[in-house]
Amino acid sequence: MAALLTELFTVEHVAELPAGWTRLSEDPAPTEVLPLSISVRNDEGIEKLKQRLAEISNPKHKDFGKHLSRDEVRALRQPSRERTDAVLAWLEESGIVDAEIHDDWVRVNSTVQGAKDLLGAEIAYYTFPGRPPMLRTRRYGVPAGRVAESVAFIHPLSNFFVKPHESDEEHAERRRREAQEARMDAELQKRQVPDEPINPPEGTTPVEKPPCADETTPDCLRELYNIRYALVEEEAESSDTLYLVAGFLEQNLFHPDTHDFMDKYAPHIPDSVRNISVELINGGTDPQIMSKAGMEAALDVQYALSLSHPVNVMYSITGGRGVKLDANGDPMPENRADNEPYLEFLEYMLEKEDEELPHVISISYADDEQGVPRPYALKVCDLLAALTSRGVSIIGATGDGGSRGVRYGDCRSNDGLKRPITMASFPASCPYVTAIGAVNQVSPPQVATFSTGGFSNYFERPDWQATDVEAYITTLDGRLSGHYNDTGRAIPDISAIGVAFNIYYGGGPGAAMGTSASAPVIASMFALINDARRRKGLGRTGWLNPRLYSEEVRAVVNDVGRISAAVFDGGAGRVPEVGLWDGNWGAGGF
C-alpha cells in the first residue's frame, strides 16, 4: 500500500487513447501476473555515450572511426549505484524482493493488485482490433524524490503502441491493393517519359528515358545510381562484411521466392549465397510455407542480395509477442506476452560480440511518431545511439503516408487538444537512424506521393542538420506555422526510387512500392562501401548522418532536394521534398 501513503510523481499519462484502442468493461483478476520492466535513468552516461559518438563520427576529430566496444557501451549504459539502489529499496519496501537487474533495467513479476498499490494505477484490459486484450493503464506514478529521479518509465504499462496484426486474408488483400497502386503509379510516371528519344531542335540533345523508367530491377538500379563494384574473382567469392535486413510482424522469408528472383534478375549470384541465414529473435519463427510468405521480407531480401553481392546478407525475424514465463516458470497466456519488437531487437543486437555485429542494418518499418509513447521512443533512440557507437550504420524507411503519417490518420494531435498537425514517423525520426524517403521514376527525381517526411516532436534538430533545415523553413515564409515543430529533427535524409519494384512473392512474380523499397537500396550501397573499406584495411562507416550533411559528401552526390524536410499539403497528404539527395554509390566522402 506504499503508493497510497506516499505522494506520487506521475511518470506517464495518456491523455487520449490512440485511435483503435478501447477499454473493456471486464476487470482483471487481482492476482493476475503482470511483469514490469523498470527503466532506470542514466542521463549522464547516455550523454557521455552520445558525446563520444559525435567525436568518433567526426572526420576532423583525432578519434574518428574509433568505435566503442561492447564492454565500453555496457559501462556507459550502467546507471549509478545510487539510482539502482533507490529503485530496489522502493520495491523491497513494497514487498517485492525478486527483482532482476540487467544493464539499465530492473525487471519484476508483479500482479494487477500489486501494480495498483505500487503505482497508484488503475490497471484494466484494453484492446486493439485484431489483438487480444492487454493489461494497461493510462496513468501511473512513483514516489516523488529519489525514486522519481531514478525511474525513466515502466514498460509496458502505458504502451499503447502496437503494430497492426492482420489476418492472412487482410494481409493478402492489402498487398494486392498496394501492388495495383504501384502498377498504376508506374504507368502514370511512364506517360511523363517518352518511349523513344524525342527529335530535338537542331543543336540540342535528345531526351531519353532514365533507368528504371518502366520498372525497377537490380540492373536498372545499378545503372541509375552508378553502383559499380568490381572485384577480382577470388575476392568476389567471400566477404566478412555483414548486412542485416531486420524483419518484424511475422514477415516470413520464403526461400523459393528468393531463388526464383535470383534466377530472373541476378543469375550470376551462386546458390550458396541465396540460401540466406535467418536469425530468430524474441520468439520469431521461420515457417517455410508459401501462404505465410511476407511481401516485405521478399522485397527487402531480394534487393539486398542482388545489389550488395558479395556482402553477407542476413535476415532477422523479431517476434512481437515472445513467450514469457510467470513467477512459477510457466508460460504466460498469449495476451500477456506482449514484448514489443524494437526494444527486444536492439537489446539482442547490443549483446553481440563486436565481430558479430552487422556493418549495416536496414529497417523497413515505421509508425506515426505520436503513436509511440515518448519515454519508450527516447529509450529506443538511446539504444540506437548505442548501436551506432559500435560502428553499425542504421538505415530506416520513413513510411508511406505522406504528411498524414504512416497510418493515414486524421492529422490531429493525441494530447487531448486535437490540434491539426503533420506527422513524422518513428524510428526514422531518431537522429541516429538515416531516414530514407522515396522518389518516382521520372528525371529529374520527384517525391513519390506516398513518401512520409516532416519534423519530429520528440527529437530536437541536430547541429549537423541546422543550416539546411533553417534555410528551408525561411522559404516557407510562415506557411503552416503551428502545424509542425520548426525546431525538430527533420526527415528524410536520403531518398531513392520507391515505385514499381519487380519481386517474387508467394510463389510468383509481383510488384511492390514504398519507402520500404527505397531503404534496402540505400542500405545495399552502404554495405558495399563498408566492404570496400574493409578490403582496404579501413573501419566501419558507423553513424552516417553527420557526414551525409558535410560539404565533402554533398559536393559529389545528386542533389534533388534542398533539405531533409517536408513541405506539407495537408489535403493531399504529399511531401514534395525528398531529402538531401538520391543515392549515388560512386559518391566520395566515405
Give the active site residue among 300, 369, 493, 531: 300
The answer to whether residues 162 and 132 touch, using CB atoms and an 8 Å cutoff, is no
Cα 468 from chain centroid (whole Å): 23
* Cα dihedral 55, 58, 64, 69 in deg (nearest 10): 50
Nearest to 504 by CA among 244, 366, 226, 306: 306
**Burial of 19: CB neighbours in 10 Å, binned 0-12, 13-18, 19+:** middle
Q: What is the DSSP string of 198-257?
A: --PPTTSPPP-PPTTSS-B-HHHHHHHTT------HHHHT----EEEEEE-TT-B--HHH
Q: Which residue is associated with the grid cell 521514376?
A: 441
State the cell numbers at 585.
Answer: 554509390
**Euclidean distance between CA atoms 200 and 213, whole angstroms:** 20
**Euclidean distance between CA atoms 237 and 9, whole angstroms:** 59
Give the active site residue among 516, 518, 524, 564: 516
Give the active site residue among 296, 400, 493, 577: 296
Residue 554, amino acid: R
**Burial of 570: CB neighbours in 10 Å, binned 0-12, 13-18, 19+:** middle
The answer to whether residues 524 and 307 touch, using CB atoms and an 8 Å cutoff, is yes
Annotated catalytic residue 330:
no
Distances (CA, A) of 310 to 130, 231, 232, 234, 528: 41, 9, 12, 11, 8
Q: What is the 3-state secondary structure (H, E, C) of 308-327?
A: HCCCEEEEEEECCCCCCECC
Q: Which residue is associated with the grid cell 543486437?
A: 349
Largest CA distance in the chain: 89
Directed axis angle between helix 295-308 and helix 255-265, to 10°?
A: 40
**Burial of 498: CB neighbours in 10 Å, binned 0-12, 13-18, 19+:** buried
Annotated catalytic residue 300:
yes
Distances (CA, A) of 550 to 390, 420, 540, 583: 21, 34, 18, 15
The answer to whether residues 202 and 521 touch, using CB atoms and an 8 Å cutoff, is no
Annotated catalytic residue 415:
no
Q: Which residue is associated with the grid cell 539510482?
A: 83
Within a 10 A sphere around the Cβ of 389, how many other Cβ atoms? 24
Distances (CA, A) of 256 to 292, 315, 513: 13, 15, 21
Distances (CA, A) of 225 to 452, 491, 540, 557: 22, 21, 22, 10
State the cell numbers at 70.
Answer: 561492447
The answer to whether residues 142 and 90 touch, using CB atoms and an 8 Å cutoff, is yes
Nearest to 434 by CA among 345, 577, 544, 553: 544
The answer to whether residues 405 and 425 touch, using CB atoms and an 8 Å cutoff, is yes
State the cell numbers at 282.
Answer: 524474441
Catalytic residues: 296, 300, 516
